Structure 1
Amino acid sequence: EIAREGGGIKRTVRQTREMKPKHLAEKCIFRLDRMLETGTTTIEAKSGYGLDLDTEIKQLEVLNDLKGLHPIDIVPTFMGAHEIPVEYQGKNREYLDFLLEKVLPVVKERKLAEFVDIFCEEGYFSYEDAEYYLDKAAAMGFKIKLHADEFSSNNAALLAVKKKAVSAEHLIAMTEEEIARISASDTACIFLPGVSFFLRLGKYAPARQVIEKNGIVALGTDFNPGSSMISSQLFIFYLGIFQLGMTIEEAFNAVTINAAYAINRQHEVGSIALGKKMDILLLDIPDFSYLAYHIGIDPINTVFKAGRPFMDGLEFDFG
């Protein structure tokens, strides 16, 4: 209803189109600083709030520029197929062709994004739209992701499996068949419980069922202004335990190594191993289980990003 009335994504699109790159970068840096303070060291960040050539490229340019300006590693994803812009209402396929013919070639040539994502949902893009778009994006050399089954099921999770997507996100409304199929695949399920919490949906993704079928479960914030204004991955960790029914160990894996897998960075980050970046949190807690026991405190003493120590978001020298 919000989308139909011109709010939600459409409202943010209007604001983003008007914003200067410098202002957009400043907002990003402020939010990245907050994420670093709460222990996040690597993020995936998506475009999708421009829905035209100039603004989609502007978003990706800012994200790529920030790679050299902020300690957090940024993995950009092109999500121009986030919504149908006003100028293309009722012309979904024409809009997708615009992205494929005018925008994605620029993204590819300039190496602005590694992944392509699409919102496959009633009122947005259909299963057929998503398959058409992802096939062509994959042929251009992009890795595939999919926003699937957030509010209703249209077999989008099955499409993610069929296209060998790196990940599928949301997945709240998956059917039993979708749960079984995606759990048996190499596609990571990125559950975003902050959306259910923020929108008070009263329903969370079926994490327990996927875990019990040996599926790959990751957790993310889905930090965005409309449905999850939550930048703390630690808070998402809590939701994974208390709302999705995950154990502490399962939730911990979901925000570390499995989250790294979901953005194709498992060989660089996500665990402590020889050859990986030294991304480590020092926590002021008596033992590991206390992390999910004393809720609301800030347990983080020091964040190490690639071996560099940060306290309260600021780098310091142990010497």
Structure 2
Amino acid sequence: MPLAALSRLALLGRFFGSICRTGWCCSLWSGNSSQSSERCSLVWLSSVTRSSTRDGGCQNRLPVPDGTNVGRQCREVNVLVSETKRRPMRDVCIVGGGVSGLAASIYTARAGLDTLIVDGGESILARNASLENYPGFPDGVDARRHLELAREQARNAGVAFELGRVTSVELRDEDDLEAGFVLETEGGDPLSTRRVIAASWSDSEYLVPLDVGRIQRGSKHFVSVDDGGRTAVDGVYAAGRIAGEPHQAIVAAGHGAKVGLAAIHDSDANFYHDWVVPEGYFTGRGRDVPPGCEEIDDDERRERDERARETILEAFAEPLEERPTMHPSVDRD
């Protein structure tokens, strides 16, 4: 495959963030090009772990249809692009890659749960011209840049991504509620997961087979949840606007995190809090470091701060060319 063609394929990765900064690889696997769009074959899967992020680099080689091996150095990623291999049983499958889904995924993945986001399209936040009420950005931030950084953070935590639209969610076994769920997708193989988090405003039709308790308000349907985002069906959660939360990015992120924590506590994960604390914070009091927490010394703190500053400086070095997405009802002509 010519390098120019590979470059064009790589540009598709901007949907999930800046792949040039992170060293991620993407392949549009289309053995039959006439079916590629229908099969939704852009698959972005990773088997990242928090330890691999710290342990150093790897060499990933991605085969392309003409048999060429394209190598790329990467720090923490092992990418699988396949439509024929058997789908693994995920711990958590999140439907929707907007702010609430990303926040939930960061928590579940950092807690050690195998987490997949199925993203059916652009986040509503991409319609925002300037995000100016999100803490931490005194003069606001471009909403699309914020989404890129959030996706990069999720990938670094170990979240896998797949582009596609979920059409239905059903129990794998009506007689065994612990067996998990099957997610059907348009043009793709079914997905199996132990828990589902719906974060897909405003689409919730795929939840109809489960009777989770949808509430109609005008032309939209919301999902009835408890304080932790749990629905009437064990193992199914809803986060953000689809759960009736206010249409604000910071609220969606906070609720997504809360729902992610609920999914963690409902799982078998050994978890206390997601904290990174200075060395001695626990052990200096004669305590073991609780699960989910990490103690780091000052050298490690400085190294992480340096990486964080480099990431932010690079992310904000140039203006984004992407423009806000207009509301679909507005005539663009």
Q: TM-score, normalised by structure 1?
A: 0.30
More strand by share: 2
Q: Greater share of helix residues, 1 or 2?
A: 1
Q: TM-score, normalised by structure 2?
A: 0.29
Q: Could you say which structure has the larger radius of gyration? A: 2
Looking at both structures, which has the greater relative contact order when contacts are Cα pairs under 8 Å and sequence separation is at least 6?
Answer: 2
